[in-house]
Structure formats: C-alpha cells, structure tokens
Amino acid sequence: MKRYVCIHGHFYQPPRENPWLEEVEVQDSAVPYHDWNQRVTAECYAPNSASRILDGDRRIMDIVSNYTKMSFNFGPTLLSWMEKSSPEVYQAILDADRQSMEWRSGHGAALAQVYNHLIMPLASTRDKHTQVIWGIRDFEHRFQRFPEGMWLAETAVDLETLDILAEHGILFTILAPHQAARFRNFGDETWTETPDASIDPSRAYLCRLPSGRIITLFFYDRLAQAVAFEKVLDSGETFVNRLLDIFSETRDWPQLLHIATDGETYGHHQTFGDMGLAAAFNHIEAHDLATLTNYGEYLEMHPPVHEVEIHENTSWSCAHGIERWNSDCGCNSGGYSHWNQQWRGPLRTSLDWLRDRLASEFMRVGGRLLKDPWQARNDYIRVMLDRSAENVEAFMGRHSILPLEADEIITVVKLLEMQRHALLMYTSCGWFFDEVSGIEAVQVIQYASRALQLGAGIVEEGMEKAFIGKLKFVVSNIADIGNGTWIYEHFVLPTRVDLNKVVAHFAFSSLFEEYEEHARVFCYHVDRQAYLKLCSDEACLAIGLVDAISTITGESARLTFGVVRFGSHDFKGGV
C-alpha cells in the first residue's frame, strides 16, 4: 500500500505589540535582536523559506523552501507583524502555499489558526465563534482562499469547539494521540478504547458532533516528541529513518505518517533544524521512500472509514488537560522549583469578571448604535485588516442602525477595540510560564488595561478600580512584587499612552530630529499647525501647536507644547 508523509509546523509567537502603540518595543531578553519576533524570524522563519541542502562534502546542492513541502500554520497576529516588519519572509510564506497547491492536487500547505491563540475550552461560546471567524477571515485575506483546516491553540479541545469549527466550514483539525478516547469502524456498534495514546495515527477519523455536524480529526504520531526534544533533526537521514520505522506492513490501507510540532523547532529551538528538515524531504523524494502530502490532499484521496470520540478539555502540552491555563496543576517551565503557579486561577477569574462586564456594557451602548453588536464584532476583523477611512465607512454602513455622526463612529470603534483587547487578554502564553510578573502575563494584563481605557467615559464608572482590587489575589512568587495590583500599578499603568503623551513624545524628540508637517508617531498622526525651534550649543527650545489623531480609533485633540533642553541631560516641558 502507498505510504505518505506529512510534517506539520505550528509557527507562532504571542502578540507582543504595546497595546497603546501597536508596535513591538525593545525586548532586552532577545539580544542581540530588537525583539523576540525579530530573533525567531532570523533563526527560523526566514531560514525555512530558503533552507540549504548540503552534499557529502558540505557544499550547497540546493536552496529550497520547506514551507512548500510541509503542512503549516502561522498565527494571524504573527503574520500581521511579519507583513510590516519582514515582508520578504511574509511573501515567501504566501508563495509557498500557492506552490503547494500546484503540487498537492489543489490543496494548500497552510492551515488557519484560532485568532489570538486563546484556550478554546476555557472561552465563552461567543468568544469561540469570534476566534474562528477572525482566524478564517484573516487567512482568506492573506492566502486568498478558504482554509480547509484550522489549528487549535495548544490543541486544546472540547466538543463545542469542534462543532463551531464545523459550523464555519472547517473540514479538519489536528490533535495529539492521547486526546482520542475510542474509535470504531463505520457501521460497527462496538468501540475500541485507546488508552495511553494508542490510537493508530496513520489514517483520518470522523468525529460526529452533538449538533449532527461532522469534522475530520488527525492524531499525530508520538515521534513528534522525539523531533521536538531528542535532536532527531541533527541528521536528515536519521530523521527519515525514524519516520520510516513507523510504517507497518500489517496495515492494509494507505498509511499517513504525520507529526506536528512547534514550527520553531526547525531553526530556533534546534539550530539548523531547518536544514535537517530540508535534508529529510530531499532524501524521501530522491529515494522514492514515500509520497509527501498535506492533510487536505490526503483527506480528499482517503476519507475516513472510522469514527472517533475525544477526551474533552485536553491539550498537547498539559498532562492535566487544560489546567495549565487555569490552576497550579504542576506544569511549568522549570525555572525555580520553589515557585508555584497559584496565580493562574485568580488571574483568569479576574479577566473573566472584566470580560463579562465589558460585554454587558458593549451590548448596552453598542445596542443603541449597531443592528447587532456581536455580529459587528465578528465582522470587525475586516477593519482590523484595512483601517482606511473608506473601509471604516463601509463597515459602519453595514452595521449601524442609522447614519452615524463622527463622534458616534469614534464611540463604535472604541467599543469594538475594547472587545478586541478583551480577546487579546486571553492569549495563552499569559498562563504558560512560571511567574505572573513575566513579560507574557504582564502583556495580557496590559490588554485588559487598554480595554478599560478604551471604555472610559463609555462604560460604567468604577470598573477599573474594581478590577485592580481583584488583582490583589493574583499573588507573585517574588516578595518585592507582591501581587497583581502592584504589577498593574508599576508595570502596566506607566506604559499607558494617551494623546497628551503622544504629543510629549513628538515634542521632545523634535529637539533631535526633523519631522514632516504630517508625521507618523507609532499608530498616531501628528499634524503640525505651528512650530518654532531655537537652539544654541547649550540649550534648545521648541514650542508648537499640533493636531494628534489616533489611526485606530479616530480620536483627536489639538494641543500646544513647550519643551526645552539644557545641556545634555536636563529636559523640561509640558503639553
């Protein structure tokens, strides 16, 4: 029987943008690079788009794109960053999907992903729908086709999530072998249990859902663990031999050998891992050892003849189901043995409280302006992808009850941005690591703070104060930090930006650089109405009148400023 090989890479970085600037700031831990996105791109994403294949004398035989021969998904927020910050790599990824469609019977290598990598079983039903819709629309915008499959963050799954995937047209997803509970042949009454991850991964399985819908599931082979942690990629030929060892002569169907790992395995976690992968693909094809494929192509050629039931509320990276994102389950990154993760539960409880209150206010205020506020939120991804005035106007035309005044449009956008950040605050990395004061957990608290700021003057008063009070139960392992309230006051609030701070940045930096009349300062426009700068060797003075405008919400203000520099280190000024 024919043998197929499919290697899936889950390429993902958490959104790292400052929520007020929409830009990634310097991350010292990523040295010598500006930030972790840039570093992982240099070590992994770029090399996999042009990986070297060497001969026996270590001379370059060929340079190939691994993306064309594998299955992959990229997080939408990562692709959004890459489109602006690494456009050549971004384009290479899109081109690889188109090339794979030519090679794989019209089936592209790329899969979609739930939008910002939240743990789906822990999300509300409404948020699950938005995550899937945004993931699909983002994929369509970039890859110019509908996605056949969708990656679930941490492969965290429940039946409702699978049902929502199927409802929105997704054909399949990929799970870990231990997430299968039992299977049977079509038409059989007897189920076969699959304890200890014993499901046969070499074929597709149909999952029948409570609604009557269906979805196909692929359970990857346990070799994925070795690829991720045992340096199998040091030799492409060794990697291939490990793959081929899994094929069995006792199987009488076309076998699919497939694994799924973090895509960063191929170059970032394992140096030159991209070359090991490229060498493996080359060795398989050169010696006709198996047929390279992707999930969509295999599914079309060999649809399921077995059905499967899953273990709900499980994932690929937590031995306790999904508790790594909800409690002190014992899973951690092993930094300090005396630390605990008891902060995880209170952090999620605090964010759930905030989510529900923001949702209530979104309905109360948005319901006066929008036909269906939640439908508008689902469609808001179109604005996130294109913030031009014409597109925003078209969006308002589709969703507003009546034609809106300029200030009402700003209110609607602020409400929808509030909801965007209320989703971003559930990004899974916020709970994955050991300490609540780490950059990942602080990032999700920053998203919460941005959501509260966007709602200021629109939603009920006192919400932020109550939220800060709840954070005192989020206890840090570091005595000097104490709890989440301290983190909010010392790590989050100082990073907040408003139009006054934007103009202050413009004013002080104008002492050292020349701005155009219409300047861009991160996600703001600063339009100069009047400006005067007087400088000598010992001092420099600047005064001005400017219009500051948010490119996200449309909020604006006309502000005056005066700043002065004495010597090299003494700065004073005001807005």
290-301 confidence digits (pLDDT tens)? 999 999 999 999
Q: Which of 456, 475, 495 is the last residue of a domain?
A: 495
Instruction: Read off the pLDDT band of 334 (50, 70, 90).
Output: confident
**pLDDT per position as a tens digit, 412-461:** 999 999 999 999 999 999 999 999 999 999 999 999 999 999 999 998 88
Query: Average pLDDT for residues 110-123, to the nearest whole number?
Result: 98
Task: Looking at the structure, tell me whether residues 332 and 481 fall in a common domain.
Answer: yes
Q: Is residue 22 part of a domain?
A: no
Contacts 24+ apart (CB under 8 A), 493-499: 493/449, 495/18, 495/20, 495/446, 496/20, 496/449, 496/450, 496/453, 497/18, 497/20, 497/21, 498/453, 499/524, 499/548, 499/550, 499/555, 499/556, 499/557, 499/559
pLDDT in tens, 554-566: 999 999 999 999 9
- The answer to whether residue 485 scores a pLDDT higher than 90 is yes
The answer on 529 and 414 residing in a single domain is: no
CB 460 within 8 A of CB 361: yes
Segment 376-397, tens digit of pLDDT: 999 999 999 999 999 999 999 9
pLDDT at residue 93 is higher than 90: yes
Under the banding of pLDDT at 50, 70 and 90, the label for residue 56 is confident
Q: What's the total number of domains in the chain?
A: 3
pLDDT, residue 568, reads: 85
Tell me what the pLDDT averaged over the chain comes to.
96
Looking at the fold, whether 306 and 449 belong to one and the same domain comes out as: no
393 C-beta neighbours (distance < 10 Å), count: 11
- The residue written with tokens 């509908």 in the block is 146
Work out the pLDDT band at 333, boundaries 50, 70, 90. Answer: confident
> Do 300 and 164 belong to one domain?
yes
Query: What pLDDT shows up at residue 335?
Result: 78
Share of the chain above pLDDT 90, in %: 95
In this prediction, residue 10 carries a pLDDT of 98
Residue 20 pLDDT level (bands cut at 50, 70, 90) = very high
Q: Are 251 and 208 in contact (CB under 8 A)?
A: no
Same-domain check for residues 188 and 40:
yes
Q: Which domain holds residue 564?
A: 499-574
Looking at the fold, whether 100 and 209 belong to one and the same domain comes out as yes
pLDDT value of residue 231: 84
- Cis, peptide link before residue 32, omega less than 30° from 0: yes
Q: Do both 437 and 522 map to the same domain?
A: no
Residues 448 and 365 in one domain: yes
Task: Give yes or no: residues 151 and 239 share one domain.
Answer: yes
- The reply to whether 21 falls in a domain is no
Residues 377 and 394: their CA atoms lie apart, in Å, by 15
pLDDT value at residue 279:
95
- Reduced to 3 states (helix: H, G, I; strand: E, B; else coil), residue 6 is strand
Beta partners for 261? 9
Q: Do 252 and 139 share a domain, yes or no?
A: yes
| C-beta separation of 5 from 257 below 8 A | yes
Tell me which residue has tokens 């597109």.
Answer: 391
For residue 1, pLDDT over 80 is answered with no
Per-residue confidence (pLDDT) for residue 161, from 0 to 100: 98
Tens of pLDDT, residue by residue over 196-247, are 999 999 999 999 999 999 999 999 999 999 998 888 898 888 999 999 999 9
Under 8 Å CB-to-CB from 546, ≥6 apart: which residues? 503, 506, 526, 527, 528, 529, 531, 558, 559, 560, 561
433 and 531 together in one domain: no
Q: Which two tokens stand for residue 574?
A: 């005001």
Instruction: Judge whether 538 lies within some domain.
Output: yes
Q: How is residue 518 written in tokens?
A: 């219409």
CATH number of 78's domain: 3.20.110.20
| pLDDT score for 460 | 86
Residue where one domain finishes, among candidates 450, 470, 495: 495
Residues 512 and 447 occupy one common structural domain: no
Q: Is residue 283 domain-resident?
A: yes
